[in-house]
Amino acid sequence: MVSIPTPRPSGLASRLRPVRVATIATLTSHRAVVVAVADALAWLPAVAAGALLATDLHLTVPEASSLLGLTVLAAASQLTVGAATGLYRRRHPRGSLDEARLLLGVVLLVGAVLAAATLVTSPDALPSLVPSPLGVGTPLAATVVAFLLTGGARAAARGLRERAERPAAGAARTVVFGAGQASASFVATMLRDRRSPWLPVALLDDDERLRRLSVRSVPVLGTRHDVAEVARRTGASVLVIAVASPPAELVQHLRVEAARAGLSLLVIPTVTEMLRDGQRVSDLRQVTAEDIIGRRPLDLDLEAAASYLRGARVLVTGAGGSIGSELCRQIAALAPAELIMLDRDETALQGVQVSIAGHGLLDTDDVVLADIRDAAAIEAVFVARRPEVVFHAAALKHLPMLEQYPAEGWKTNVLGTLNVLRAAQAVGVETFVNVSTDKAANASSALGRSKRLAERLTADAARATGSRYLSVRFGNVLGSRGSMLPLFQGLIEAGRPLTVTDPEATRYFMTIPEACHLVVQAGGIGRPGEVLILDMGEPVKILDIARRLIDLSGRDVEIVFTGLRPGEKLHEELVGDGEHDERPTHPSISHTTVPPLSPAELEPALYAPTVLRVA
């Protein structure tokens, strides 16, 4: 290993750098001194005004002569109390609400000192400071005036600073839909950044009570129906949706209105995107398919439910898939002792390793190349690594393909799951979460039946071990590899017709992060043998999604109806016949059970995969 010495700064640079740091510190100190002196001097007019107000503008000579002593006491108290409370140490941004609260406390304390002084009526008690003619009304009025002067000066300084920091003249004039907290944060961020490419000029909100509201001097000028008129009045070229989790209907309406008005449409990132990807409120993005479908992650308390992962050895099968890879990323952030990523696809493993470790060398023991169909290989991995928690996401998932080749679904989804379950039981795995599908409820396809058998085998492992072996069932995952959305988007890009099975067909949808949140949380809240199901809201028509994607693309794309395929349902179900729906932990997560199925009962059908057509 070659050591490269760090170059030392030149003589001039080494002398200039400390000088620069010292200069910055001196300027900061000088500003604090200026602010402190200004606050102290503000008590001069404040005490004078307080005395005049307290005496109805009839100030006698003895009262006037006592003002000097009261002013000196006020200024000294302001400096002393301000320094003691840290008012001049920049504990809060200048002109902020937090600083205003601290300033109010300081001024009230100073006022209390003055009031106590004026209550001393004996000339011998405090003869040189506050002679008796002034009453307690003077410090009370002076306190109000002092706060108005000191607070007003800070507000004015902040206003001037923000005006100086406004975006440059070339920034795009922007209309912002939403006048709530998300909008206020966005507007404030834009107006504080001179390099911002957006300049907010108007707000829109459907709440008529906000019509006269202004956020950072940006007025509310209308509702969603006034996009074109407000754009014409303000000369705007951009419309930003600044609403937390906007409903699909709102996004679609604003998309149409923006197109009519010739505006570019952007949205602020969601809280989930900011936490997951490190985005900021100002990181605007284009409208996505998820926006027009309207699916937004539910509020699942991942941190509270995932404590079982901290310091544990965790293994994920199918780690290279859409669900498996996101699952690995979420688990890695929860501080496991070891994360073992297992898949039969070496390229997929490299991708997830890059996303977590920052490299794709594939020469470390966090990635394991193995096929769950190979019982001996899976057993060897479990014995060598001895995981404590297992997430089983490896599966074949395409319904039409498994209708053609049910034997493949049998080998992977049934026997592969059995291999993983047996290996887990052999090494004493404490928590096992099997990733299932809504197609396992009242199964009508080879895919659904194979996943139903996997749920039952998992329930039997729970019965045999008494440990937390359970399944998680959810619907279509937006954006997952091979799912409907990327398929439709690819067809649109190629200019080919979109194929929809039936105009009335509906499906449940959820996002990849949301699905993985449920999987992780299931291991913390599920009970042995249960199946957990996320409440995914109302099902969505596939035809509606196709039309919205075509509208979003701006292209003229045909929709072709093909009819339902063998084994496919018109409407999917989440809870099967005879299954109960309990929600003991979270209002959006159902707990149900399935009858256990022992491997011995499965043996007679080992070489008859057609059982998936009739099971």
Distance CA 27, CA 33 (A): 10
pLDDT at 332: 94
Dihedral sign for Cα atoms in the order 206, 207, 209, 212: negative
CA distances from 147 to 49, 97, 327, 335 (A): 13, 14, 54, 49
Question: Does residue 369 sit in helix, strand or coil?
Answer: strand
Q: How many CB atoms lie within 10 A of CB 214?
A: 12
Q: What is the pLDDT of residue 109?
A: 92
What is the pLDDT at residue 7? Answer: 40
- How far apart are the C-alpha atoms of 438 and 452, rounded to whole Å? 9
Output the DSSP codes for 331-358.
HHTT--SEEEEEES-HHHHHHHHHHHHS
pLDDT at residue 304 in the model: 59
What residue ranges of the chain have pLDDT lower than 50? Answer: 1-28, 121-132, 271, 274-275, 278, 281, 607, 614-615
| Dihedral sign (CA 229, 234, 239, 241) | negative
- In the chain the domains, ranked by start, together with CATH numbers, are 22-164 (no CATH), 172-287 (3.40.50.720), 302-614 (3.40.50.720)
Where do the H-state alpha helices sit in 286-345? 289-293, 302-305, 322-332
The whole-model pTM stands at 0.66
Paired tokens of 175: 């209309």
Task: Look at residues 488, 504, 591 and name the one whose alpha carbon lies nearest to residue 539.
Answer: 504
- Indicate the helix (H) or strand (E) that contains 137: helix 137-164
360, 546 Cβ separation under 8 angstroms:
no
Question: What's the pLDDT score for residue 475?
Answer: 82
Element holding 150 (H helix, E strand): helix 137-164
Catalytic residue at 397? no
Alpha-carbon distances, residue 97 vs 94, 102, 103, 104, 105 (angstroms): 9, 9, 10, 10, 13
Note the pLDDT tens digit of each residue in 484-529: 888 888 899 899 999 999 999 998 888 788 788 889 988 999 999 9
Sign of the dihedral through C-alpha 224, 228, 230, 234: positive
Q: Which of 397, 439, 451, 569 is catalytic?
A: 439
- Give the up-direction half-sphere exposure of residue 398: CA atoms within 13 A in the CB hemisphere: 11
